[in-house]
Amino acid sequence: HIGLQMMRAEPLKVQGVVGLFPFLQVDRKSGKQTRLRMITQSKMCIAIIRAIAPAICSLPQWVLQFLVKLGTDSDMCTHTRHVTLRALLQPSVMHNIAHLASTEFADLDAPMDVDFMERMHRRLAFVYTDDDHWAPFWQFNELMHQIPNMVLEMSQVRVSHAFCTNPEQSEAVAQQTAAILRKLIDHHEGRSPL
């Protein structure tokens, strides 16, 4: 989403965008998105989160570790869980997470701007993965149908939306991204068609 906004604002400066599991619009069919949207758009829920965050942060370390493990991706490595735990102990983090989520839900409430993506399709590529509620498979299919010449790929290995929390998944996504970037650069320089 941010890459597309930058491309829209500065089309001559942004040569291309590779969207990894892109959150392009709110998925009204997703129960998880619906619940998160209701929470982040409720001033009362945000006030409650702000009020209880210090109490949660004062819980014993083993309880916090359990909560982080319970509330995060099962593929998350131990080091990343530890970093997440340290971040959540910061008083402002929960507020910032809620603010980010509420602004994303507000910005992405409208349908995807397929016309803009069609105009920029030679400079765009998106990668999707199975079972991702932020970048759902129906969106991949819709873009394949509406913009058939755009680079759209499924992840070559099973990865989660939070791939950066797992070293093996990060490596797989980095390799696929590098291959896509080579395609876009070769096309941009006239060496090959997309």
**Under 8 Å CB-to-CB from 76, ≥6 apart: which residues?**
84, 162, 165, 166
Q: At residue 34, what are phi and psi to the nearest 5 degrees?
A: -60, -45
pLDDT in tens, the chain (194 residues): 889 999 999 999 998 899 999 999 988 888 888 888 888 888 888 788 777 777 777 788 788 778 777 766 667 777 777 777 777 767 677 778 777 887 888 888 889 999 999 999 989 999 999 888 889 999 999 999 999 999 999 998 888 888 888 888 999 999 999 999 988 887 777 666 65
First-to-last alpha carbon distance for the chain, in angstroms, is: 22
From CA 49, how far away is CA 56, in angstroms rounded? 10
pTM of the model: 0.78
CB contact at 8 A, 14 and 3? yes
